[in-house]
């Protein structure tokens, strides 16, 4: 059955791939992009793919944009937009920390608070949060990003319990290290402020960890399956190999020393 689906952060990566494929499968998709040039670019991508896709501007730091998107009434709300900032926790500027939480967490809560009440009123709907493997484990030097995704895990888990009695489902998708370009830009995001002469904790070379990223199609395919589905697991993590890594991390937290 066709669903109305709103996806944030759809100008690139998982959001773009999922939005276009869901539209191809006959769903009514509203895809958001952060800035007007990205809106127009995504519209062009959809036209080139031969699909109908409504694209709107949504900068999660812009209250007017959130108000506008909040007037929509989708069957499924996919909270996918995000930023990654690199740097040690003791060095990264607080402005970058605050902005990461504003986009990855607070802006999405604000949007959910406008849309989810409509789902509760009709006793149907679903919210899908794009979390991360970094919402389960911790990756040094992207600790702020991991912190936002740990927050997402707490919020999504609470929402799941709170909304289930009202007919609204909540789920997460948890990507590992996929080659969408997101990890690459995150790894170099510190260059505007980082000074190796003044840093308390020097930032290492990330190139080895970025060398063998997975094909993002695996995550996109999983998202396309679970977003409109009536029944599926609460958490969808890809690549599959990452699941064991995440479970091992959770176990190790009970046994490792400080």
Listed residue (122, 120, 117, 147) closest to 135, CA to CA: 147
Bridge-based pairing of strands 76-79 and 4-7 is: parallel
Token pair, residue 4, equals 């109305």
Asked if residue 243 is part of any domain, the answer here is yes
Asked if residue 73 is part of any domain, the answer here is yes
Catalytic residues: 145
Listed residue (4, 6, 49, 43) closest to 24, CA to CA: 49
What number of CA atoms fall less than 13 Å from residue 197's CA on the CB side? 0
217-244 pLDDT, tens digit per residue, is 999 999 999 999 999 999 999 999 999 9
- Residues of the chain with pLDDT > 90, as a percent, come to 98
- Assess whether the previous peptide bond of 8 is cis (omega < 30° from 0): no
pLDDT range class, residue 167, cuts 50, 70, 90: very high
pLDDT range class, residue 6, cuts 50, 70, 90: very high
Asked if residue 258 is part of any domain, the answer here is no
- Please check the confidence at residue 165 and state whether its pLDDT lies above 90: yes
What string of DSSP letters covers 138-157? --TT-HHHHHHHHHHHHHHH
pLDDT range class, residue 175, cuts 50, 70, 90: very high
108-162 pLDDT, tens digit per residue, is 999 999 999 999 999 999 999 999 999 999 999 999 999 999 999 999 999 999 9
What number of CA atoms fall less than 13 Å from residue 149's CA on the CB side? 26
193 contacts 93 by C-beta, under 8 angstroms = yes
Asked if residue 11 is part of any domain, the answer here is yes
* Per-residue model confidence (pLDDT) at position 110: 98
* Per-residue model confidence (pLDDT) at position 209: 87
Asked if residue 128 is part of any domain, the answer here is yes
* Per-residue model confidence (pLDDT) at position 192: 95
* Per-residue model confidence (pLDDT) at position 185: 96
CA distance 175 to 14: 9
In the chain, DSSP finds a helix count (H) and a strand count (E) of 10, 7
Domain that holds residue 92: 4-253
135 contacts 152 by C-beta, under 8 angstroms = yes
CA distance 202 to 224: 40
CATH number at residue 69: 3.40.50.720
Instruction: Tell me the β-bridge partners of 235.
Output: 172
Total domains, the chain: 1
Asked if residue 68 is part of any domain, the answer here is yes
Q: Is 0.85 topped by the overall pTM?
A: yes
**Residue 206 or residue 41, greater confidence:** 41
* Per-residue model confidence (pLDDT) at position 204: 94
Contacts of 163 (CB under 8 A, 6+ apart): 116, 119, 120, 127, 169, 170
197-223 pLDDT, tens digit per residue, is 999 999 999 888 899 999 999 999 999
CA distance 15 to 13: 6
59-112 pLDDT, tens digit per residue, is 999 999 999 999 999 999 999 999 999 999 999 999 999 999 999 999 999 999
């Amino acid at each position: 059955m066709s669903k109305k689906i709103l996806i944030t952060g759809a100008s690139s990566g998982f959001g773009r791939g999922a939005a276009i494929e869901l539209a191809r499968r006959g769903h009514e998709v509203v895809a958001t992009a952060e800035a007007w040039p990205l809106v127009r670019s995504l519209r062009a991508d959809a036209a080139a793919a031969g699909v109908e896709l409504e694209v709107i501007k949504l900068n999660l730091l812009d209250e007017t944009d959130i108000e506008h998107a909040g007037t929509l009434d989708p069957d499924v709300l996919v909270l996918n937009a995000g930023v990654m900032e690199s740097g040690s926790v003791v060095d990264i500027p607080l402005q970058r920390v605050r902005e990461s939480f504003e986009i990855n967490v607070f802006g999405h809560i604000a949007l959910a608070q406008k849309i989810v009440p409509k789902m509760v009123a009709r006793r149907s709907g679903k919210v899908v949060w794009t979390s991360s493997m970094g919402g389960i484990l911790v990756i040094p030097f992207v600790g702020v990003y991991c912190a936002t995704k740990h927050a997402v895990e707490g919020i999504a888990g609470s929402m799941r319990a709170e909304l289930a009695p009202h007919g609204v489902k909540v789920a997460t998708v948890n990507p590992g290290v996929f080659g969408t370009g997101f990890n690459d830009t995150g790894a170099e995001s510190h260059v505007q402020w980082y000074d190796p002469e003044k840093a308390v904790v020097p930032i290492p070379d990330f190139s080895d960890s970025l060398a063998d990223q997975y094909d993002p199609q695996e995550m996109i395919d999983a998202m396309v399956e679970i977003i409109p589905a009536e029944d599926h697991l609460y958490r969808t993590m890809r690549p599959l190999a990452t699941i064991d890594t995440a479970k091992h991390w959770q176990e190790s937290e009970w046994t490792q020393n400080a």
